[in-house]
Amino acid sequence: MTPQERPLSPHLQVYRWSILMTSSILHRMTGVGLALGFLLLVVWLACLASGPEAYAAFMGYASCYLGLALLFFITWALMHHMLSGVRHLIWDVGLNFDPAKATMMALAMAVIAFVLTLVIFAAGFAAS
C-alpha cells in the first residue's frame, strides 16, 4: 500500500459541531486556566508572606477591573471544571449516555457554573 492509498483519519470537517464537543474542549481549557490561576494564588501567598507593602500592592492590582475580571474567569473556570467532573462521575456510573440527555446535562452544567460564579461574586461583594 502506498502512502496515498491509505485511508485518512476523520478530521474536524467530518464531524458536526456539538455542545458536547464544546463542553469537552472547555473542560480542558478550564483545567489549563486553573493551573495558571494556581500560579496567581502562589503569588498572592508570597505577597501575603512578604509583608503589608507587598500585599497592598498585590491587592491594588487584584481589585482593579482587570484583576476582578481575571478573578471572575478563574472562579467560573473552577465552577465549570468541577461541574464537568461531576458530569463525568455521573457517566462513570452509567447514567445519561443518551445523546439528548448528555447534551442537556452539558448545557445545564454550563448555566449552573455561570450562575454559581455570579452567586459567589455577589456574596463576596455583599460581604465587603
* Binding-site residues from annotation for heme: 81
What's the number of CA atoms in the CB half-sphere (13 Å) around residue 127? 6
Round to whole Å and give the CA distance between 109 and 17: 18
Q: Does residue 107 contact residue 19 with C-beta atoms inside 8 Å?
A: yes
Helices (H) and strands (E) in the chain, counts: 4, 0
Q: Which residue has the cell 487584584?
A: 62
Please state the residue numbers annotated as binding site. 81
Rounded to whole angstroms, the Cα distance separating 104 from 64 reads: 36
